Amino acid sequence: MTRTPFELGGWSQTLSREPLPHFTQMMYGMVTNLDGLTTGTAGTPGWSPATSTAPRPHDYTGKVLWTYGGGLCSPKAKPANQDEIDLIVNATLDKGWDGVDFDDECQMNIPNVITAMRILKRQGKQTRFGFISGYTYNTPTSSNGMALNDKVRQVVQSGHCDQLVHYCYASRMWTDAEIERYVGQSLERTLAHGANTGQLILALTSRGLTDHNLRLFLDQVIQKQIGGLYIWAYHQLLPSHQCTILERLGFEPAPAGCGRSGTIVHDPL
């Protein structure tokens, strides 16, 4: 399998779901119950990275991380103290995870996130910081926009974060107008905060993905030569979209059935 300069990865909430064959990064979560360090909620907890060994699918040679946070994570301002930082680090070390993907969707305690990243990096682990990169991020004159930009700036300038993951979707893909307005601008904004292009990751979802909006994302990845592309709900990707991603990003060999145009090749009748 030919390795390209780009990272390709995705998220799964299920530990048994295997990454796509060409993935270089796999994230399991979301660990949204931040008090109990589990998926689900405090009332209905799921699995925990502290008690679950990092999955190592057969023939997969990429990295396996767990995601701290995510949509509807709670409570706010986590990790709250050194004990909670230690829980994050120990779960990662004890259960064989390659690192932690911090998905800040509940106003995390950024100094403590950075401390956790610093300790993880010292142990040879990988770190990610993900955030929604739409209107708020690109409106730094608002109070919320200023706060989010300050968070990203702190993480970048700490020097302890390997990748900045830009979530450029909601429950479905943004409209084409939103993509054209915010995606490129978000990447430029993070570069202005001191990141380098290789640290930047664009993230999309298979829900509402079309040939056109996929092309818009891939154009940004390739033209700006950023770190790569991550996919939410990758198991729902259309085969033609999987082919397009692999072809445009230079992954070889493509799955059987992919043509050079990024479309599925059907057997003749």
Tens-digit pLDDT profile for residues 29-48: 999 999 999 999 999 999 99
Least reliable range by pLDDT among 2-11, 71-80, 136-145, 186-195 = 2-11
Domains of the chain in start order, with CATH, are 7-249 (3.20.20.80)
Tens-digit pLDDT profile for residues 153-195: 999 999 999 999 999 999 999 999 999 999 999 999 999 999 9
**What pLDDT score does 252 carry?**
86
- Give percent above pLDDT 90 in the chain: 90
Q: pLDDT category, 1, cuts 50, 70, 90?
A: low
Return mean pLDDT, the chain: 94
The phi and psi torsions of 101 (rounded to 5 degrees) equal -105, 105
Please compute the mean of the pLDDT values over residues 3-30 and round it to a whole number: 94
Range with the largest mean pLDDT of 53-62, 219-228, 253-262 = 219-228
Tens-digit pLDDT profile for residues 242-262: 999 999 999 987 777 786 544
**What pLDDT score does 236 carry?**
97
Annotate 133-144 with b (16+ C-beta within 10 A) or e (fewer).
bbebbbeeeeee
* The token pair that represents 61 in the structure block: 């040679």
Tally of CB atoms within 10 A around 6: 21
**What pLDDT score does 267 carry?**
29
**Does the pLDDT value for residue 128 go beyond 90?**
yes
